[in-house]
Amino acid sequence: MKNTVEIDIAIIGGGIAGLWLLNRLRQLGLSVILLESKALGAGQTNKSQGIIHGGAKYALQGLLTSASQAVSEMPQVWNDCLKGKGILDLSSVPILSHHQYLWSTGSLASKVAGFFSGMALKGNVRELSRDAYPEIFRNAQFKGQVYSLEEVVLDVHAVTRELVKPNQDVIFKIDQPQDYQIKFDANGRLTSLEIQAEPIEPIQVKAKKYIFAAGAGNEELLSPLKSHGITMQRRALHMVLVKTPFNYPLFAHCLGLGATPRITITTHYTHDGQPVWYMGGQIAEEGVRRDSKEQIQVARKELQELFPWLDFTAAEFATFFVDRAEPLQESGKRPDTCYVKEVENVIAAWPTKLALAPRLADEIAASLQRENINPHAADLRSMRAWPIPALAKPVWDELL
């Protein structure tokens, strides 16, 4: 006879969405397990730049979209957690930077200044005097303008670790996505979830709700629910890593003419302490048409143009492609906020931004509370033999 685990909630996927949710739902007294097929954070989460957006980035060029409104509460929620006074305790997570800089090149300075005078009134963005510039911009060759934006940048690897720590007893590794046998009925109800991994006995997971928070993995897992309106889109990025021969800890967006920053740089350190600039923004969006060699050439040229006073000759470059996995939008563009869709006993979830994970979890928790799911303690003895997934390594430690 097959082993059966009866549980309130089964979460598939151990990125920021699944892990934040796991913590929140256990707080409500629900019995929860989380199944992860690679390493915890191995999808988009450990490739994220760790920026807790409050919407100012989206308001570039004066466009205050609904996206910027949806994320505007997130910095406060995260800051409370980072101080140990929030819904989750993240007080031991290092803050890589308390603010980000926005900078314009000389030719755009006046255009950008006009826009930011409006923003500055809201207290989001502060124009800096030259003597308050970060060291990297205190060079006679820098002709632009620098603004400070009060939004934190986090060590995402540490966030993942903190979310995992209290939950190691309920997180299990599934070796292959094929290790699942999932059946849905015609109404979209999940009727059977069986997991198997030789030589461990197969286990039938019986949950009151199954939450799919598997990022890009949701596409395959939820393909039977397409007719119920759950469809995913991918927006690709070609990110660049640069191990710099100098140490300027930079967290900054270079403003271009479009709504996406020309380049967004965050600074991280490899396990042996080497500084790495991690670069996204327009260069990563447009870079999907380039191979790695071309992308590195473009990145070198861009950096030399933006920082002519620095020498990148000895810098070591690496690039990689990654998809942002999101609910399908008619426009094909970024969704405005997180996505939660419930079909029968299945919930599909995409946070669409790391910063929005708390909001995603709140929406799901509220929906479960409305349904009055009575918490019951689970007996997980039959899962004792299942391995625990490792934490994913930061991407700069994998590639540089």
Q: 43 vs 142, which CB is nearer to ligand FAD?
A: 43
Q: 193 vs 378, which CB is nearer to ligand FAD?
A: 193
- Binding flag, residue 217, ligand FAD (CB under 6 A): yes
Number of residues that bind ligand FAD (CB under 6 A): 40
- Binding flag, residue 15, ligand FAD (CB under 6 A): yes
**Strand 263-269 versus strand 252-255 pairing type:** antiparallel
Stretch that binds ligand FAD, among 62-70, 127-135, 345-353, 378-386 (CB under 6 A): 345-353
- Binding flag, residue 215, ligand FAD (CB under 6 A): yes
**Strand 145-149 versus strand 125-127 pairing type:** antiparallel
- Binding flag, residue 174, ligand FAD (CB under 6 A): yes
CB of 84 to ligand FAD, least distance (A): 21
Report the 3 state secondary structure along 73-132: CHHHHHHHHHCCCCCCCCCCCCEEECCEEEEECHHHHHHHHHHHHHHHHCCCEEECCHHH
CB of 372 to ligand FAD, least distance (A): 27
Q: 138 vs 234, which CB is nearer to ligand FAD?
A: 234
- Binding flag, residue 37, ligand FAD (CB under 6 A): yes
Q: 48 vs 337, which CB is nearer to ligand FAD?
A: 48
- Binding flag, residue 23, ligand FAD (CB under 6 A): no
Q: Which of 8, 36, 151, 342 binds ligand FAD (CB under 6 A)?
A: 36
Q: Would you call 279 exposed, middle or buried from its count of C-beta atoms within 10 A (0-12, 13-18, 19+)?
A: buried
Residue 165: name the closest of 391, 356, 330, 398 by CA. 391
Stretch that binds ligand FAD, among 6-14, 84-92, 197-205, 307-315 (CB under 6 A): 6-14
- Binding flag, residue 24, ligand FAD (CB under 6 A): no
Residue 193 CB coordination number (10 Å): 19
Check whether the bond before 199 is cis (ω within 30° of 0). yes
User: By the criterion CB under 6 A, which residues form the site for ligand FAD?
Assistant: 12-18, 35-38, 42-45, 47-51, 53, 174, 177, 213-217, 221, 237, 239, 280, 322, 324, 350-355
